[in-house]
Amino acid sequence: MRVRFWGVRGSIPVPGADTVRYGGNTSCMEVQLPGEDPCVLDAGTGARLLGRELLGRKERGVNLLFSHFHLDHLFGFPFFAPLFAPSFRLHVSAPGFSPDATRDRLGRYLNGVLHPLRMPDLPAPMDFAAIRPGIPFQRGAYQITAVQLNHPGGACGYVIEGGGRKVAYLTDTSPLSRPGEGLSGGAAPNGREIALTKALKGADFVAVDTMFSENEYLEKMTWGHGYPEYAAALCRHAEVKTLALFHHSPDATDADLDRLSERWAGGYDGMRVVLAREGADVDLEG
Ligand SMILES: [Zn+2]
Ligand SMILES: [Zn+2]
Q: What is the CATH number of the domain that holds 79?
A: 3.60.15.10
Mean pLDDT to the nearest integer, 62-84: 97
Task: Name residues with Cβ closer than 5 Å to ligand 2, which is an ion.
Answer: 70, 172
Burial of 233 (0-12, 13-18, 19+ CB in 10 A): buried
From residue 257, alpha-carbon distances to 225, 246, 280 in Å are 17, 11, 15
pLDDT digits (tens, 9 = 90+) for 235-259: 999 999 999 999 999 999 999 999 9
- pLDDT at residue 182 in the model: 97
Mean pLDDT of the chain: 97
Enter the pTM of the model: 0.98
Q: What is the DSSP letter of 37?
A: P
- pLDDT at residue 82 in the model: 98
Note the ligand closest to the C-alpha atom of 153: 2
Mean pLDDT to the nearest integer, 105-119: 94
Q: How far is the CA of 163 from the centre of ligand 2 (A)?
A: 30
- 244, 206 Cβ separation under 8 angstroms: yes
Going by C-alpha positions, the residue among 228, 224, 284, 231 that lies closest to residue 257 is: 228
Q: Name the domain count of the chain.
A: 1
**Local structure of 22: helix, strand or coil:** coil
CA dihedral 205, 211, 216, 218 (to 10 degrees): -50
Q: How far is the CA of 11 from the centre of ligand 1 (A)?
A: 5
Q: How far is the CA of 163 from the centre of ligand 1 (A)?
A: 29
Q: How far is the CA of 215 from the centre of ligand 1 (A)?
A: 19
- 286 pLDDT higher than 80: no
- 64, 74 Cβ separation under 8 angstroms: no
Domain that holds residue 163: 2-283
Note the ligand closest to the C-alpha atom of 10: 1
**Euclidean distance between CA atoms 191 and 62, whole angstroms:** 34
